[in-house]
Structure 1
Amino acid sequence: MVKLEIQERDGFLIMEDFPKNCIFNKVKTGCGATTIALTNDENYIIAVPTTELVINKCYPPKDKNGKDITWKRSQIQAGVSPINNRLFGLYGSFTKTLQIKLKKFLDKDGVKKIICTYDKVDKLIPVINPLEFKILVDEYHNLLKQYGFRTMVINQIIENFKCFKSHCFLTATPIPELFKPKVFAEMTEYVADWKTVDKITIYPYPCKSSSSTAAKIIRHYKDNGYFVLDGIKSEEAYFFVNSVREIKEILEEARLTNDDCRIICADDETNHYKLEGFEISSSTAPAKRFTFITCKAFEGVDYYSETAICFIVSNGYNKHTLISIDMDIPQIAGRIRTKSNPFRNKIVHIFNPKVMNYYLPFDEMKRKTDEELAAAEERIQVLNESKLGEVARKQQDDELKKLGADTYIIKKGDKYEVNDMVAQLKLYQHWTTRIVYRSAEALQEGYRQLGMAVVQTYEWNIADENIIKGILTTPQFRDRLKRFCDLKEKSALTDNERRELESLMKRDPILEQGYQQLGLSQLRRTRTKKAIKALTE
């Protein structure tokens, strides 16, 4: 890794361009790195992992002056961005109509920017001159994380990135050296040399059921009108839950409605079925009190809120919800862009560890994987040297295609090669699902290791796990009585205070009865329900 001197202002990169033919570790999320490629004077293909990220850049929730922009669902479509005619957003079906739009865009004079999902890179190559475009592969760590279910798409990026004028693989959370595939291990990796240090605080909360705890937090917001963390009130909450089924469980247990929340996940038939009764939204839709986000929008997407806290929900028995502390946590920490938000660099991580009587130590898993890679090396030597007939070779190729992401062997041209992406993904998944989340202690040790790894730019603090537990502890009646009296004493209430007062009255009807019969001054002097009843009967 090579430290790179950068130009920055107020925590944002102001470089004219990226270094060429390399990995660029920008270190900080939300530092405006993608904006460099979107706004400079170079032709760029910007490849991103999700449709939501394309939409978020083409249809941003705020304009250049920081004012909110409300986009109708009907306005959002692939094509030229309505706020930047140099930018073309490419995602979804590559229809004839969209191809015509793209050709018209490419025929115009001037600098051109195309932001597209990973799967559209190979579709672009035949319709552009790649040597006229630089390619920026954003959030490149996803090429490893998503390899298991996007094998063909990621293989196409790896096979084609060298055909462009130059290439840069960008991320703030690079693939750790321990899991880095050969194709990336051979690249120069530049690391942005920031002069400032950001503080991030993790509030771990081990529990028996992560979804029930999330529902309890929502009820706390609803009952009190806010959630107090470190003495500051939060009136909004963002829940990062990479399971639509678990989101539905939380919604039902917390008794939320569509008016209370927005759900940002893949807009497909399966998710509509799972979320029956709830709408699927997007990052461009108006914010609501509670926002639920799947990995569709964990990275690169901008959110704005003055008081929202980010809550991560991980279920040790559902591997899809297990957030990677090395790559996902720093990404989520940078999702809320509002600098005045006091919780911007604070994350509450709710998790229930998976109880394990046995787990394979990482060193043993690494040894097994190395043996499998060595065996694959032997096989490709035999395959490349053999004189298989056309039919036999086709059978061999068909078998490899069926194995997909489960084979260590890949064919490029007429030759077979070892595909170590599969091996590194297995190791990474084993580390996350079997090592880090096996216990509360293991997860917190993982956080400590993360803090050591990025200490140059982030100051990581791990808060006491009892902090969130204490907040959720049901307040005593006398505390609720005092709060009721404080609210009644106010001449005007905010919407949240009004909801809080209604919740207190609903929970303890005797409070309003005591207020009506005894008056505020005498009610304050009581301490128990029994005392109020005695005075009002």
Structure 2
Amino acid sequence: MITKLDIQEKDGFLIMEDFPANCIFNKVKTGCGATTIALTNCENYIIAVPTTELIENKCYPTKDVDGNVKFWKKHERKAGLSPVVTNLFGLYGNFTLELKKKLKDYLSSAGIKKIICTYDKIDKLMEFINPVDFKLMVDEYHNFLKQYSFRDKAINGVLAHFKEFKSYCFLSATPIPKDLKPSIFNGIPEYIANWSESDEITVYPYHTDKPYMVAAKFIKTYQTKGCLNVNGIESKEAYFFINSVTEIKAILKQTQLTEDDYRIICADNLKNRSTLGGYTISGSTDAPKRFNFITSKSFEGVDFHSETGLCFVVSNVQNRHTLVSIDMDIPQIVGRIRTKSNPFRNKVVHIFNTKATDHYTTFEEMEQIVDEEVKAAQERADMFNNAKLSEPAIKQQVNEIKKVGVESYLSYQENKFIVNDMVAKLQLYSYYIATVVYQSDQSLRNTYIQSGMTVTRGKWYVAPEKFVKDLISEPTFRELHKRYCEIKEKPMTFNLGIIEIEHRYPILGRAYRQLGIKELKRLRTIKAIKNALGEN
């Protein structure tokens, strides 16, 4: 049962003193300041979050309390005490001796304690703290389902300890759906924030065979027109949410963007650096660029600030990592740009392809298959537990489970074999997205309509595809003439758009060189330019 919770709110932000204890809390809205409550109230708090990026975004905000702007370079961002946010300790990365000392010094100092850490650090924190002295907030907890296939140890570490704290709260604006909720959450009360007003979200779905090529076309439209005109309002920055550095690189190569124009926010590791080649990896606290590419490490909780930025989601069924869910991912992405005056703040363009099949297992059939596998796993667990195996036999069986890895339905906890239904729920979740939601253009649109009513309790508008196609329609000569003159008036600014425009209309280049910018600005048509050049 879900209980509506009357909240204290102001201007779309929560102003509660604390969260309800020992519960799941659906805050409904993203970017409503829920994490700020735990960071600023008078309670000792451990805030567990899914990514390092989110911690750095909170410890090194680009705006301080006085509104001063500062962009933090990579070498300036380190785990430990925040230089901006009072008494906030960021715990992430390698747990080195130096970091352990910093943590011990912090814990031994006076005052309220606020530690924000990645999920994997909860298990390690237990040897440094008395958990009953701290409240625990697990932020974006829906990732327990989404990310279990590659973060099972970190997630299991949180689940093993959360009941040891003074109190706990699992927080999300997009909680795990009831039919996919793992059994470990059974019996935990669930509250939903009762907002006085709901958000209005507009989605612009665009179905195509080649998503990254359409993304590149949008970029070229920004370059040649100087902006993207949406209902008469100009967007001058683009935020592409695409969970594949390979496809980000393909878009960059296609558009020939320079480092002055792009920012890639992804995990800074050897694999990604190798994939991207000469392209530079940035962070969310680096200075924004005109074109920003963001992987799943910043789909949630990370704040971006932009006056005219528009969000794009790029999904490719050939690469399952890029398939965003409509109920969990899209509402999170729409809430990433926090600038309230941005007219595109609650809008998102979703570029996607589909992979319809003539015959596949239906979702209902898949549910039956998974249910049978869970029953079989329970039978095996009961058999092992009732057999009273010797220590060597238990050890051998545990090793067999580890060989199977995260896909195993069995695990060994508290001296007994149990069924891990998190694996089953994740199987169903992944199957639903890949084979039902992205089966066709219509099925994705239907999912948007259904989710808009059931997930966010807000108003979702799904725009017709023609609207999106018109956004990247061929620009008129007059539009390109205006843009060409704007660029040429700033000769120190290199812009690839000038190449595109001169390729399409060579006469503009000739007129600029022979007549100059003032005369060219006065001439508005091809015929007038030809007359001035004596080409008629």
State whether residues 174 and 455 of structure 2, in contact with CA within 8 Å, keep that contact through their aligned partners in structure 1.
no
Structure 1 residues 202 and 122 mapped into 2: Cα distance closer, same or farther (>3 Å)? Answer: same
Partner residue of 1:397? 398
- Report deviation, 1:527: 5.7
- Report deviation, 1:176: 0.7
2-side partners of 1:355 and 1:124: how far apart?
47
Structure 1 residues 248 and 493 mapped into 2: Cα distance closer, same or farther (>3 Å)? Answer: closer
Which stretch shifts more, 123-132 or 348-357? 348-357
1-side partners of 2:152 and 2:459: how far apart?
36
State whether residues 31 and 336 of structure 2, in contact with CA within 8 Å, keep that contact through their aligned partners in structure 1.
yes
Match of 1:114, SS state, is: strand
Matches within 5 A, 1:69-468: 69-454=70-455, 456=457, 458-468=458-468
State whether residues 225 and 499 of structure 1, in contact with CA within 8 Å, keep that contact through their aligned partners in structure 2.
no
Cα deviation digits, residues 457-500 of structure 1 (max 9, x gap): x110000111121221223xxx2146526975999789999986
1:510 is aligned to 2:507: yes
1:27 is aligned to 2:24: no
2-side partners of 1:521 and 1:281: how far apart?
39
Cα deviation digits, residues 348-370 of structure 1 (max 9, x gap): 00011123222211111111111
- Report deviation, 1:162: 0.4
2-side partners of 1:421 and 1:486: how far apart?
54
2-side partners of 1:533 and 1:324: how far apart?
56
Structure 1 residues 102 and 415 mapped into 2: Cα distance closer, same or farther (>3 Å)? Answer: same
Match of 1:219, SS state, is: helix
1-side partners of 2:446 and 2:129: how far apart?
49
2-side partners of 1:494 and 1:231: how far apart?
28
1-side partners of 2:153 and 2:486: how far apart?
65
2-side partners of 1:279 and 1:512: how far apart?
33
- Report deviation, 1:501: 6.7
2-side partners of 1:34 and 1:67: how far apart?
21
2-side partners of 1:532 and 1:467: how far apart?
37
Structure 1 residues 309 and 415 mapped into 2: Cα distance closer, same or farther (>3 Å)? Answer: same
State whether residues 376 and 418 of structure 1, in contact with CA within 8 Å, keep that contact through their aligned partners in structure 2.
yes
2-side partners of 1:465 and 1:319: how far apart?
23
State whether residues 487 and 493 of structure 1, in contact with CA within 8 Å, keep that contact through their aligned partners in structure 2.
no
2-side partners of 1:494 and 1:514: how far apart?
16
2-side partners of 1:257 and 1:498: how far apart?
9
1-side partners of 2:327 and 2:478: how far apart?
45
- Report deviation, 1:182: 0.9
2-side partners of 1:277 and 1:426: how far apart?
37
2-side partners of 1:455 and 1:135: how far apart?
25
2-side partners of 1:486 and 1:237: how far apart?
18
RMSD (Å) for aligned C-alpha atoms: 2.4
2-side partners of 1:135 and 1:233: how far apart?
43
State whether residues 322 and 433 of structure 1, in contact with CA within 8 Å, keep that contact through their aligned partners in structure 2.
yes
1-side partners of 2:63 and 2:270: how far apart?
30
What residue identity is the alignment partner of 2:535?
T
Matches within 5 A, 1:61-76: 61-76=62-77
State whether residues 45 and 137 of structure 2, in contact with CA within 8 Å, keep that contact through their aligned partners in structure 1.
yes
Unaligned stretches of 5+ residues in structure 2? none
Structure 1 residues 51 and 204 mapped into 2: Cα distance closer, same or farther (>3 Å)? Answer: same
State whether residues 226 and 496 of structure 1, in contact with CA within 8 Å, keep that contact through their aligned partners in structure 2.
no
How many residues end up aligned between the 2 structures? Answer: 532
1-side partners of 2:266 and 2:495: how far apart?
32
2-side partners of 1:486 and 1:311: how far apart?
23
- Report deviation, 1:85: 3.9
1-side partners of 2:236 and 2:350: how far apart?
18
Partner residue of 1:536? 535
State whether residues 405 and 422 of structure 1, in contact with CA within 8 Å, keep that contact through their aligned partners in structure 2.
yes
2-side partners of 1:132 and 1:520: how far apart?
72
Unaligned stretches of 5+ residues in structure 1? none
2-side partners of 1:245 and 1:500: how far apart?
24
State whether residues 50 and 118 of structure 2, in contact with CA within 8 Å, keep that contact through their aligned partners in structure 1.
yes
1-side partners of 2:86 and 2:105: how far apart?
12
- Report deviation, 1:390: 2.2
Structure 1 residues 193 and 391 mapped into 2: Cα distance closer, same or farther (>3 Å)? Answer: same
State whether residues 130 and 165 of structure 1, in contact with CA within 8 Å, keep that contact through their aligned partners in structure 2.
yes
What residue identity is the alignment partner of 2:213?
S
1:470 is aligned to 2:473: no
What residue identity is the alignment partner of 2:10?
R
State whether residues 265 and 282 of structure 2, in contact with CA within 8 Å, keep that contact through their aligned partners in structure 1.
yes
Structure 1 residues 522 and 188 mapped into 2: Cα distance closer, same or farther (>3 Å)? Answer: closer
- Report deviation, 1:42: 0.3
Match of 2:302, SS state, is: coil
Which stretch shifts more, 48-57 or 496-505? 496-505
2-side partners of 1:250 and 1:500: how far apart?
16
State whether residues 25 and 173 of structure 1, in contact with CA within 8 Å, keep that contact through their aligned partners in structure 2.
yes
- Report deviation, 1:200: 0.4
State whether residues 453 and 459 of structure 2, in contact with CA within 8 Å, keep that contact through their aligned partners in structure 1.
no
1-side partners of 2:155 and 2:381: how far apart?
21
Structure 1 residues 133 and 489 mapped into 2: Cα distance closer, same or farther (>3 Å)? Answer: closer
Structure 1 residues 391 and 7 mapped into 2: Cα distance closer, same or farther (>3 Å)? Answer: same
TM-score, L = length of structure 1? 0.94
What residue identity is the alignment partner of 1:124?
L
2-side partners of 1:190 and 1:527: how far apart?
67
Partner residue of 2:61? 60
- Report deviation, 1:72: 2.7
